[in-house]
Structure 1
Amino acid sequence: MKLWAVLLVAVSYSLAAADLTVSLPGHQLDYPLAELKQQLPVKRVELYDPVYGQQKSYLGFLLTDVLKLAGYQNGMPGDELKLVASDGYAPSMPLSLLAGEPVLAFAEAGKADFEFEAVTQGKAKLSPAPFYLVWTQGAAAKHQPWPYQLVKIELVSFAETYAALYPTGVTQDSAVYQGFLLFKSQCLSCHSINLQGGEVGPELNAPKNVTEYWSETNLRAFIKDANSFRYKSKMPSFSHLKDEQIEQLLAFLRYSKAHKVQL
């Protein structure tokens, strides 16, 4: 058998065997796609996908249906969903966003299970399989998490799960706290502070804080447009952030420098 055929079989087997893990307080369950199809209605959605930059049609399950299947009930301890991809990308989203009816897609409409057009990530092209979280609002939800290669969903209490990066002793109207909120929504999915957060990008605080080896002038420019420093950077452009917001991010990073985790 030729090498490409062996690799194709290996990838097909891997995806066919892929499970989605749902972790709730007190228990954790693994769901193969076949079981999800048996237990839940399959929903077809058509939307403008900002990841691809075009209109797309997907087959999947309402995220609320998946959570209910796993035993989620209103009032369970936790205020956010941590969404974990196979490469370490790990955005979190407040439970309030469930009102937007996000859909856990397992294929593009008209294609086989786990079959998607490849997406560009930096220098690589990747399949979003096994699961891809998409939003029925399309472009209107472009600043919400669109994680692909999703393998786990976990209900967490943010302040407890991310205690090592949560700012204390500051007011909620301070630049530090506002910068923390921006970091949480814009950066945490890829980067960690004190080893808490995503694993796609580098750790930003320990043992060296990024402001200790990058000039703040370069940091401001890099956050705005990483591709102006590195062609095909995995880090997207944050040109939508205002200068004031960039300064708030830097204020949070400076705060973190004085609150490093010790190993």
Structure 2
Amino acid sequence: MKPSLAFLALLLALPASAAQLTIELDHASRTWQTAELLKLPEAQTVQIVDDVSYKRNMTYRAVPLAALLPGLKPENHLQAVALDGFAAELTAAPLLQKSGARAWLAVEDPAHPWPALADGKPSAGPFYLVWTDPQAGPISPEQWPFQVSAIKQLKTVAERFPALLPDPKLAADDPVNQGFALFQKNCLACHRLNGGGDAQVGPDLNIPYNPTEYFSGDFLKRYIRDPQSLRRWPQAKMPAFAVSVLPDNELALLVGYLKHMAGRKQQP
């Protein structure tokens, strides 16, 4: 029997359901319910200017992320895992700041659901990492994971995925190692390389071919700047990296790391 139109309308009118967020630290683990987070004394209303995901100003009920990370040290490393397989690698230091660029966990209230990210898409909820004064960071778009389901303390990327490492003979401040740091910040949330990484969104950037092997001239840089200008299709997910997010000198370092890794292929 087909449901009546009235019943379907009722289902559509129902508020979003509550959710839970798991935070796993080396010394503590806790699962938070939506209602618990909204009732925390630290929760407050925050105004986000030019929200990365919604592309406009937004208002959220949010909790300072530092309040949910007791005992974490600036040198520690975290990963925010999203429902769609996005896995943002996050150094703890910026997340613990109480001034300048400040991290907040925005919590979607089931009674007041957020708008959809696009037609046919869900909202950024149930949990979304947002930043006030991100320009003081600077904070990249990859540090704004949405639809977050878990936050985990992990070893550093270099420790977990040695297949990503440049030639160990290079100096710590070599441009290739600088590019590796930028790769972790801007690319690893969606991509793997040599099979290394936890993301499930984009393709591996070295196996079977590195993009520096099939993008000639400056086309790779143009693609990173504006993917839709070179390849346009409705399901495309890769964001554009503006100069304000990834300056030209950093883009050159990132491409330099990728070119270096084309000579260090390792089969997963």
Q: Same fold (TM over 0.5)?
A: yes
1:104 is matched with which residue? 105
Look up the match of 1:59: 61
Change in 2 beyond 3 A, CA 1:166/1:37? same
Q: How is 1:28-177 mapped onto 2 (pairs within 5 angstroms)?
A: 28-37=29-38, 41-51=42-52, 52-68=54-70, 73-75=71-73, 79-97=76-94, 98-99=96-97, 100-107=101-108, 112-113=110-111, 115-120=113-118, 125-137=121-133, 143=140, 145-158=143-156, 159-167=158-166, 168-177=168-177
How far off is 1:87 after superposition?
0.8
Q: 1:252 to 1:124 in 2, by over 3 A?
A: farther
CA contact (8 A) 1:20 1:152 kept: yes
- Alpha-carbon spacing, 1:24–1:236, altered in 2? closer, same or farther (3 Å): same
Asked if the contact 2:51–2:58 (Cα under 8 Å) also holds between the matched residues in 1, the reply is no
- What is the RMSD computed on CA atoms of the aligned residues? 3.1
Higher percent of residues as strand: 1
TM-score by length of 1: 0.80
Change in CA separation of 1:173 and 1:17 when aligned onto 2, cut-off 3 Å: same
Once the two structures are TM-superposed, the CA of residue 131 in structure 1 deviates from its matched residue by: 0.3
| Structure 1 unaligned blocks of 5 or more | none
1:1-16 aligned at under 5 Å gives the runs 1=3, 9=11, 16=17
Is the contact between residue 106 and residue 113 of structure 1 (CA under 8 Å) also seen in structure 2? no
d(CA) in 2 for partners of 1:200 and 1:124? 19
Paired residue for 2:239?
Answer: 236
Change (3 A) 1:64 1:239: closer
Aligned partner of residue 178 in structure 2, secondary structure:
helix
Normalization by structure 2: what TM-score? 0.79
Larger deviation: 189-198 or 208-217? Answer: 208-217
- Give a deviation string over 1:135-189, Cα, whole Å, max 9, x none: 1225655525111101111112213233321333321332211211221122111
On the 8 A contact 1:223/1:237 being kept in 2, the answer is: yes
Structure 2: give runs of 5+ residues left out of the alignment: none
For residues 175-215 of structure 1, what are the alpha-carbon distances to aligned partners after superposition, in whole Å with 9 as ceiling and x for unaligned?
A: 21121122112211121112314322211112332333433
Percentage identity across aligned positions?
Answer: 33
User: SS of the counterpart of 1:126?
Assistant: coil
Q: Deviations over 1:57-90 (max 9, x none)?
A: 110211111222xxxx1459x6222111111112
Tell me which amino acid in the other structure corresponds to 2:151: I
More deviation, 173-182/251-260: 251-260
